[in-house]
Structure 1
């Protein structure tokens, strides 16, 4: 059932035992939204658990209470409400979907959302789920502490490229300003996010050596990076930002990064104006028009061929987003 922010607040108020979760491979929006909502609900005296079926990236371990996020275990537990954040598909929360039995409230901003929950509030115009949490806090007149403001600023800023991407709206900037007034410090947040381990910098030349360009004529170019397992072994999944290198090449319309795992290939898609969410959806993934992703259960060479062919078809449609 589609619900309003006010009804979402009502559901949270009526529930006492609440589980919060977000998608696997958590990014700044997922974690920032999760931690801020946990802080608010805990302050209201709720019994709150944060479950994620994945590790917390080193990059985000400056956020308060990240260590309270736990992995789901094999036992099944009950709750009054399971809140799924920043996830367009129930599969995206991994083992949490089977570990918790409760009505589901989904707060999300992905245009590809499958409306899988019992209750959902989806705002595809929001730059980040963090914006939805800000609206929720405004609805209930929540006091936003500096740590909550830091989490929410991180959520919003990371999902709109620190206010450089096309999803940045006037409301995005207003919310960011309010969060700074509440105690978020952008220079400290960006310092944490931009600092990389030495191993990441040292492996960058090897990553860039995998760059391939596919010329699609007047439609533009497709640029790819391929991260084999031997490269990823030294990175501990510290690959954030790599895809920006091919995306920023003059003439490139779609950038694709392939990450080789044991049994599948993780694919990240970025574009200037083509709708790459349609490519991701065709392979069971999702995301936004200019930033999407999926997982392909095929050998690397086949996965690359399939995704590149899909990207060519998307470019050939000539449909571009303003």
Structure 2
């Protein structure tokens, strides 16, 4: 979800590498006096994903795993890099893989059926073929989803009832499975309010600004879900929204901070923390990923950016004070 400067490998909080740990069964308990190695694969740099990783580290420690060597690598938004990172971790026989975002989780799951994988920032774990079901994953993979069941319905309701838009521009990369799932949900919800969906798809970040511009005159509002490609170049969408006075709704709170008008969201740090606690159960307590249900975000809130509202010519309604948090 962010522009890349390079694959980053960072090792923290450890000096010992536990040889052969990755060979052990995923349900075996760790020796609490030894250092465990966690391979961290993240598809792009982005404040939300970065916050999830920080939360994950804290969750692991709070879960009782004190001696950890985090091997952190980022794929620059490139699928081939992500595949390579996953294969490297498998070759290194890490004790656990933390996959941050859907593509990273898919590539890790394709690379190993033995090493436990804990994901976060994944929209549809079942649709992505990471788990058999949310309640009983049934594989070496589990984690936390970044989909709150009420986020899209509440966003669309606000667009229909409060903004009173008759058409909404949906900008996304149809090659991202997580985005396709969200867009289908958005379109279903829009029908409830007789709001027309106008789509513009992209294949790469360079396409985003032109695609956003193509929606001008056809959409009363924009809605960008948590699409890695579009969010990586969100400023280009914001510039179109501001220049044409079109309210821009986004899929997560960091995009509101960057200049989106509003979002129903949660803190990615929290779902990362939840994932970290799950990883600790696997590493410390010998739990199997297959037996740990996928978890949802526990909190949801509406956040509105006042400066963005002014730039996009949205008049703030006093009644929103009771349902929203504001940032300047």
* TM-score with structure 1 setting the length: 0.31
- Bigger RCO of structures 1 and 2 (CA < 8 A, at least 6 apart): 2
* TM-score with structure 2 setting the length: 0.31
